[in-house]
Amino acid sequence: MKLIIIDRDGVINRGTDDEIKSANEWQALPGSLPAISRLSQNGFRIIVALNQAETKKRKLDIIKLNKIHQKLLDHLSQYGGTIDAFFFCPHEPREKCECRKTKAGLLDVIAERLRISLHGVPVVGAEPGYMDAAIAAGAIPYFVGSDNYEEKEKNHGLSSLVRVCDSLDDVANELIPE
């Protein structure tokens, strides 16, 4: 089984200084939905995994979160793509849970539920913490958003294991043979 795990904010849709709290705030990044479509049409199972502390803070309930994801799916369907599952960590950073990025707990849950190893599975994110989680899980980390890369690398020291791409479209181009 081919699998790819993708963070939502900053990879599929525009990120914000705060987490997205409504479907009205969700806006796809250029090229992200066609990239997911190409990946799914080329045999990849698509998993979206994200931190979603706003659910814990009660600024976002599961109904609103589902509406955000339904909007994503509705827009994605226009390109013929699919997402197989959404996984999220509801904890705030101060709770120091195992499932919040930078730790690999959420990725471990995905591996356990799918009964697979994440060794060699591409994990795409726009935050250094997501890269740490991917490395800890034995996955292949892809950092997107080159406009932020130099500053984040300087401040975080991204591992040499991290592959850097400008967008999810560039990741798809790397993963899908011509």
String of DSSP letters for 68-88: HHHHHHHHHHTTT----EEEE
R_g of the chain computed on alpha carbons: 15
Q: What pLDDT score does 155 carry?
A: 45
Mean pLDDT across the chain, nearest whole number?
Answer: 86
Out of 9, 74, 84, 169, the active site residue is 9
Range of 14-23, 57-66, 85-94 with top mean pLDDT = 85-94
Q: Is the pLDDT of residue 173 over 90?
A: yes
Higher pLDDT, 78 or 156: 78
Q: What pLDDT score does 20 carry?
A: 78
| Domains annotated on the chain, with CATH | 2-175 (3.40.50.1000)
Whether residue 74 lies in the annotated active site: no
Whether residue 9 lies in the annotated active site: yes
Out of 7, 61, 84, 166, the active site residue is 7
Percent of the chain with pLDDT over 90: 60
